[in-house]
């Protein structure tokens, strides 16, 4: 689990360093969610990366330096435990962190480093767990993008994996 979180954190932070041209909107359709990556955002892996039972979608805004990651993986780990591990990895990487705090079935933690701040949502169900992370100089723009473009496929089947709103 620690290795997976370390790899995910490195990949996620790497999206902020990527320079690219603004692509057209792209739809990432998985069994858990539909995520429309709008104009101005770039999807890092095509299709969604699957490695060791991990489904990950990483996207970054091509000019705002905001990044979003959505990870789903096998295993029913308590959301609080995932939040603690994720925030501890952020601390190890030099971030200042707060939380986590419970919000519904999810745990939410906030973090910052220099001009960048972010939020992570962790959740779990009977068979899967999720970590959704937003990072950038203006994470409110990324949260708005998620509110408008990220939809669970079957809310009953994905209960506990996604926040009710971003």
**Extents of the domains making up the chain:** 2-18+28-152
What percentage of the chain reaches a pLDDT higher than 90?
A: 61
The more confident residue out of 44 and 130 is 130
The pTM for the full model equals 0.82
Return the structure tokens found at 152.
């669970």
pLDDT of residue 120: 96
Q: Which three-class secondary structure state does DSSP give residue 23?
A: coil
Alpha helices in 41-112 (DSSP H): 79-92
Q: Which residues, at least 6 apart from 31, have a Cβ–Cβ distance to it below 8 Å?
A: 153
| Residues 105/30/44/78 CA torsion (nearest 10 deg) | 30
pLDDT by residue (tens digit) across 78-116?
999 999 999 999 999 999 999 899 998 899 999 999 999
pLDDT of residue 99: 83
In this structure, is the dihedral angle defined by the CA atoms of residues 93, 97, 101 and 103, taken in order, positive or negative?
negative
pLDDT by residue (tens digit) across 43-79?
887 666 676 788 999 999 989 999 999 999 988 789 9
Pick the CATH number of 2-18+28-152 from 1.25.40, 3.40.1000, 1.10.150, 3.90.1720: 3.40.1000
C-alpha dist (Å) from residue 136 to 59, 61, 77 = 12, 9, 27
pLDDT of residue 62: 85
């Amino acid at each position: 689990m620690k290795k997976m979180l370390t790899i995910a954190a490195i990949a996620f932070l790497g999206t902020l360093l990527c320079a690219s041209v603004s692509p057209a909107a792209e739809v990432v359709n998985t069994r858990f969610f539909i995520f429309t990556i709008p104009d101005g955002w770039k999807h890092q892996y095509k299709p969604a990366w699957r490695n060791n039972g991990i489904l990950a979608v990483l996207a970054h805004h091509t000019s705002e330096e905001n990044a979003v990651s959505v990870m789903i993986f096998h295993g029913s780990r308590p959301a609080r435990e995932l939040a603690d591990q994720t925030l501890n990895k952020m601390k190890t990487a030099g971030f200042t962190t707060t939380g986590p705090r419970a919000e519904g079935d999810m745990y939410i933690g906030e973090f910052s480093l220099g001009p960048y701040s972010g939020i992570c949502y962790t959740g779990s169900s009977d068979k899967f767990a999720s970590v959704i992370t937003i990072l950038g100089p203006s994470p409110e723009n990324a949260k708005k993008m998620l509110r408008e473009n990220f939809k669970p496929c079957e809310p009953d089947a994905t209960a506990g994996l996604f926040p009710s709103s971003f």
